[in-house]
Structure 1
Amino acid sequence: MTHLSTHVLDAVTGQPAVGVPVALTDTTGTLLTQAVTDKDGRIGSLASQELSGVHRLTFDTAAYFVAQGIVGFYPEIVIAFDITDPAGKYHVPVLLSPYAYSTYKGS
């Protein structure tokens, strides 16, 4: 089974971004799963099956910003990535602020 996880950190506060809705879709746009970041800003498992090929994580940052009383420029972040090893471990972290974000392939 593919291991897929994420972590969202609020770069303004330096704290985990709690309550960010995240959706996992395949290349056809089919929703595979959705979850919300926990008290540590993490979702430990987004995959319940073997995955391969291009997939997308969509982070509903608008919901997070509204909950924080912040106006943000990016209402959502969509990260496309290619799963080349269905038995592999994939971690997609996001560093978030109202006017910028960054991501990388974590481990």
Structure 2
Amino acid sequence: MGKLTTHVLDTMHGVPGANIRIELFRVEGEELTRIKTVTTNFDGRTDQPVLEGEAFTTGKYQLVFHVADYYQHKDVDLGEIPFLDDVVIRFGLGEEGAHYHVPLLVSPYSFSTYRGS
């Protein structure tokens, strides 16, 4: 059975990104359908896979990580308009039974992601 997981690392502070709100959308053409909203735990992970079981189907998806809110709660001065507000990652799920892991390494001014394991 396939599943989608994520993990957020705060590279500014060198800690897991705890209490970050993440939204998952299915992308069909120009239309976005929100599937789920989750929050990372103390370890920067979600308590359950973001997508799994019968809900896990192939297609195009988008994760939105609300990182400006996270840094503002940590009293980081982001200025009047944050450079990174929401980090949006679009990706495809092409194998029905596979485990897709989308980690995010983030600071107020940069981010990186990859297909993890």
TM-score by shorter chain over 0.5: yes
The question of whether the paired residues in 1 share the 8 Å contact of 2:68 and 2:108 is answered with: no
Q: Which amino acid aligns with 1:16?
A: P
TM-score by length of 2: 0.86
Number of positions where the alignment pairs a residue of Structure 1 with one of Structure 2: 107
Structure 1 Cα separation of the partners of residues 67 and 8 of structure 2: 10
Structure 2 Cα separation of the partners of residues 77 and 50 of structure 1: 22
Structure 2 Cα separation of the partners of residues 96 and 26 of structure 1: 23
% same residue: 35
Matches within 5 A, 1:67-78: 67-70=73-76, 71=78, 72-78=82-88
Structure 1 Cα separation of the partners of residues 104 and 56 of structure 2: 23
Provide, for residues 64-90 of structure 1, a one-character-per-residue CA deviation record: whole Å limited to 9, x for no partner. 011111114100000000100122100
Structure 1 Cα separation of the partners of residues 66 and 58 of structure 2: 24
Secondary structure of the equivalent of 1:30?
Answer: strand
Provide, for residues 48-107 of structure 1, a one-character-per-residue CA deviation record: whole Å limited to 9, x for no partner. 412211100000112101111111410000000010012210000010101001000001
TM-score by length of 1: 0.94
Q: Which has the larger radius of gyration?
A: 2
Q: CA RMSD in A?
A: 1.1
Secondary structure of the equivalent of 2:32?
Answer: coil
> Which structure 1 residue ranges, 4+ long, deviate > 3 Å from structure 2?
none
Structure 2 Cα separation of the partners of residues 90 and 77 of structure 1: 18
Q: Which amino acid aligns with 1:69?
A: D
Unaligned runs of 5+ residues in structure 2 are none
Unaligned runs of 5+ residues in structure 1 are none
Structure 2 Cα separation of the partners of residues 14 and 62 of structure 1: 17
